[in-house]
C-alpha cells in the first residue's frame, strides 16, 4: 500500500515536472541571471532551434579559459552576402555590470521568435546580420556579487585589467598589456567588419558617444567631437528616445541633456572600445549605460527588458542610413573590375578614413544631405564624386577605379576633381520598415536606378 502511494506520487511528481518544463518553454526565457553554463546552453538551444537563422561561435577565451560565445542572428549569417551589414552588441565587459548580459539573451529570443510574425523584425533580419556577445568578461562575472549596485568586485578581468581601458590608443603614453579578452575582440573586428555596434554597461543611464578623449589634452574633461559628431548624436538619440525614460536625462544623480553625452565631456577614457572601433576598425560604436544599479535584483529584469527593448532594436535599424557600395579596381583579367580590399573611403570635410572590406564593401552612415565621397588606393587613381543621401533608406554607390598611369603624375597639381574612374553606379535602396520584403529579394526595394558615366580624365 505504502509502496503504491510512493509510486503514485512519484508519477505525479514526474508529470508535474514535465508540465512545468513545458510551461517554461512556452513562457520563454526566464527573467533571472543565467550563469555561464546556463547561458551557453541557452545559446545552444536557440542555435539548435533556428539552425538557418543563427550561427554560434567563440571568438576566444578569457584568462581563466572561459569561451567568449557569440550568437549571430540573421537570414544570411551562414553564408555572408556582400552589402548585408554586420552589427554587434557586447555585454558584460565589466564583469559586475550584468544587465546587458541578460538583455542580450532576451533580445536573441525576441528576434528569433518574432521573425515569422513581425514584418519589421523580418525585414531587419533579412537585411542585417546581428552578432551578440552577451559576456566579454566571464571571469569578472564569476566573482561579481549579486544585488550589489555599486562597487568594483568583478569589474576587471582576472589579471585585474579594465577591459574598457585596454584597447590600443595612439593617445595613450603608457599602453597596458593587451588582455586575452581584448585581443579576441580585436581579432574579431578585424576579421568581421561591423558597421554599427554598442557595448552595454551599468551604473548610469546614458548613451556615451565618441570621442572618449580630447587629442593632445588627454586627462581633461572637455567635449571631444569626432568628425562624424552629427551622426553619433543621431544614433545616440535613436536609443535614448526609444528607451522608456533615458531621454529625460535625470537618473542615478546625473543629468544628461536628452540622455546622451560626448564621452570626453563626461570623463576621459584612454583605451576604450568605442574610439578604437571608430578610428581603427571603420565602424560606428557607442557605449550605453542601461541601469543605475550594476547588479540589480532579478525581479528588476522584466522591467529593464521592457524599458530597453525598443531602444535596442531601433538603434540597430539605423545601420540602414547613409551610403554604401563596392569599390572595384580596373583589372586586365576582368573588364568589370575586381573588388578592392583596403581602399580608403572618406567624406570630404570629415577627416576619418574608413577602409573597404575584402569584398570591396564600404559603409558610411550619414544624415540626409549632399556629400563628396573620396576614394583612394595606392595602385589606383583617386576618385571623388557627389552623393545625395536621402531621408529614407540607403544610397548605393559602386565605384570603379582606374589603374594609375604614369602620365597623370605630371598633371596632378590641379586640385580639381579628377574623373579617374570610368563610371559610378548609383541606386537608392529603401529599408522598408512598414512591410516585409519578398523572400526572393533579401536586399531592399530599388526605388530608382541611375547610371552616371564620368568622362575619363
Catalytic residues: 289
Q: How far is the CB of 200 from Zn ion (least distance, A)?
A: 8
Residues ≥6 apart with Cβ < 8 Å to 27: none
Q: How far is the CB of 12 from ligand NAG (least distance, A)?
A: 39
307 closest CA partner among 292, 322, 329, 323: 292
- The option from Zn ion, ligand NAG, none interacting with 161 (CB < 5 to 8 A, set by class) reads ligand NAG
Q: Which residues of 388-407 are buried (b: 16+ CB within 10 A; e: fewer)?
A: ebbeebbbbbbbbbbebeee
Closer CB to Zn ion, residue 204 or residue 387?
Answer: 204
Closer CB to ligand NAG, residue 40 or residue 317?
Answer: 317
Q: How far is the CB of 40 from ligand NAG (least distance, A)?
A: 23
Whether residue 268 contacts residue 213, with contact meaning beta carbons closer than 8 Å, is answered with yes
Closer CB to ligand NAG, residue 158 or residue 226?
Answer: 158
Closer CB to ligand NAG, residue 347 or residue 420?
Answer: 420
H or E segment at 314?
helix 301-317
Q: What order of strands is seen across the sheet that includes strand 86-90?
A: 54-61, 67-73, 129-133, 86-90, 194-201, 284-291, 204-209, 260-262
Judged by DSSP in three states, 205 sits in strand
CA distance 41 to 276: 32
Q: How far is the CB of 120 from Zn ion (least distance, A)?
A: 30
- The option from ligand NAG, Zn ion, none interacting with 245 (CB < 5 to 8 A, set by class) reads none
Site of interaction with Zn ion (CB under 5 A):
94, 97, 201
- The option from Zn ion, ligand NAG, none interacting with 430 (CB < 5 to 8 A, set by class) reads none
Q: How far is the CB of 155 from Zn ion (least distance, A)?
A: 7
- The option from ligand NAG, Zn ion, none interacting with 339 (CB < 5 to 8 A, set by class) reads ligand NAG
Gyration radius (Cα) of the chain, Å: 24
Q: How far is the CB of 92 from ligand NAG (least distance, A)?
A: 16
Closer CB to Zn ion, residue 74 or residue 202?
Answer: 202
Distances (CA, A) of 294 to 153, 163, 241, 274: 11, 16, 22, 20
Q: Which residues of 176-208 are buried (b: 16+ CB within 10 A; e: fewer)?
A: beebbbbebbbebbeebbbbbbbbbbbbbbbbb
- The option from ligand NAG, Zn ion, none interacting with 156 (CB < 5 to 8 A, set by class) reads ligand NAG
- The option from ligand NAG, Zn ion, none interacting with 167 (CB < 5 to 8 A, set by class) reads none
Whether residue 69 contacts residue 43, with contact meaning beta carbons closer than 8 Å, is answered with yes
- The option from Zn ion, ligand NAG, none interacting with 398 (CB < 5 to 8 A, set by class) reads none
Site of interaction with ligand NAG (CB under 6 A):
52-53, 118, 120-121, 152, 156, 160-162, 165, 176, 310, 313, 330, 334, 336, 338-339, 402, 406, 422, 435
C-alpha cell at 186: 580585436
Residue 5 DSSP one-character state: H
Distances (CA, A) of 197 to 129, 133, 238, 318, 375: 12, 11, 13, 11, 24
Q: How far is the CB of 404 from ligand NAG (least distance, A)?
A: 8
Q: Residue 138 CB: number of other CB atoms within 10 A?
A: 27
Closer CB to ligand NAG, residue 3 or residue 438?
Answer: 438
Residue nearest to Zn ion (CB): 201
366 closest CA partner among 427, 430, 318, 322: 322
Closer CB to ligand NAG, residue 75 or residue 279?
Answer: 75
126 closest CA partner among 116, 141, 137: 116
Amino acid at each position: 500500500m505504502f509502496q503504491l502511494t510512493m509510486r503514485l506520487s512519484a508519477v505525479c511528481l514526474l508529470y508535474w515536472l514535465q508540465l512545468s518544463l513545458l510551461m517554461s518553454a512556452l513562457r520563454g526565457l526566464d527573467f533571472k541571471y543565467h550563469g555561464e553554463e546556463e547561458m551557453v546552453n541557452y545559446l545552444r538551444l536557440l542555435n539548435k532551434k533556428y539552425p538557418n537563422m543563427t550561427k554560434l561561435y567563440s571568438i576566444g577565451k578569457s584568462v581563466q579559459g572561459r569561451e567568449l560565445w557569440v550568437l549571430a542572428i540573421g537570414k544570411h549569417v551562414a553564408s555572408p552576402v556582400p552589402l548585408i551589414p554586420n552589427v554587434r552588441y557586447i555585454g558584460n565587459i565589466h564583469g559586475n555590470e550584468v544587465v546587458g548580459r541578460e538583455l542580450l539573451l532576451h533580445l536573441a529570443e525576441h528576434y528569433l521568435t518574432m521573425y515569422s510574425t513581425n514584418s519589421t523584425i523580418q525585414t531587419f533580419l533579412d537585411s542585417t546580420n546581428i552578432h551578440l556577445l552577451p559576456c566579454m568578461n566571464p571571469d569578472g562575472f564569476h566573482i561579481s556579487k549579486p544585488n550589489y549596485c555599486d562597487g568594483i568586485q568583478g569589474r576587471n578581468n582576472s589579471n585585474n585589467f579594465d577591459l574598457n581601458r585596454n584597447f590600443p590608443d595612439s593617445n595613450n603614453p603608457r599602453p597596458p598589456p593587451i588582455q586575452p579578452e581584448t585581443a579576441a575582440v580585436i581579432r574579431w573586428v578585424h576579421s568581421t567588419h561591423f558597421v554599427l555596434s554598442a557595448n552595454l554597461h551599468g551604473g548610469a543611464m546614458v548613451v556615451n558617444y565618441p570621442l572618449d578623449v580630447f587629442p593632445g589634452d588627454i586627462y581633461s574633461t572637455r567635449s571631444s567631437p569626432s568628425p562624424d559628431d552629427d551622426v553619433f548624436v543621431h544614433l545616440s538619440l535613436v536609443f535614448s528616445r526609444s528607451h522608456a525614460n533615458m531621454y529625460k536625462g535625470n537618473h542615478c544623480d546625473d543629468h544628461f541633456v536628452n540622455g546622451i553625452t560626448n564621452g570626453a565631456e563626461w570623463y576621459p577614457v584612454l583605451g576604450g572600445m568605442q574610439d578604437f572601433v571608430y578610428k581603427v576598425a571603420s565602424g560606428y560604436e557607442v557605449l550605453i549605460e542601461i541601469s543605475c544599479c550594476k547588479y540589480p535584483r532579478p525581479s528588476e529584469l522584466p522591467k529593464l527588458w521592457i524599458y530597453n527593448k525598443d531602444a535596442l532594436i531601433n538603434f540597430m535599424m539605423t545601420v540602414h542610413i547613409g551610403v554604401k557600395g563596392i569599390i572595384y579596381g580596373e583589372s586586365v583579367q576582368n573588364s568589370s573590375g575586381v573588388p578592392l580590399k583596403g581602399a580608403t573611403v572618406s567624406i570630404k570635410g570629415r577627416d576619418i578614413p574608413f577602409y573597404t572590406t575584402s569584398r570591396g564593401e564600404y559603409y558610411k552612415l550619414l544624415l540626409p544631405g549632399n556629400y563628396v565621397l573620396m576614394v583612394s588606393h595606392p595602385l589606383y587613381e583617386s576618385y571623388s564624386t557627389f552623393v545625395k543621401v536621402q531621408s529614407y533608406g540607403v544610397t548605393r554607390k559602386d565605384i570603379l577605379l582606374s589603374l594609375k598611369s604614369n602620365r597623370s603624375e605630371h598633371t596632378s597639381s590641379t586640385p580639381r576633381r579628377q574623373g579617374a574612374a570610368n563610371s559610378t553606379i548609383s541606386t537608392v535602396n529603401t529599408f522598408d520598415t512598414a512591410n516585409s520584403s519578398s523572400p526572393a529579394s533579401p536586399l531592399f526595394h530599388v526605388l530608382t536606378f541611375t547610371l552616371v558615366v564620368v568622362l575619363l580624365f
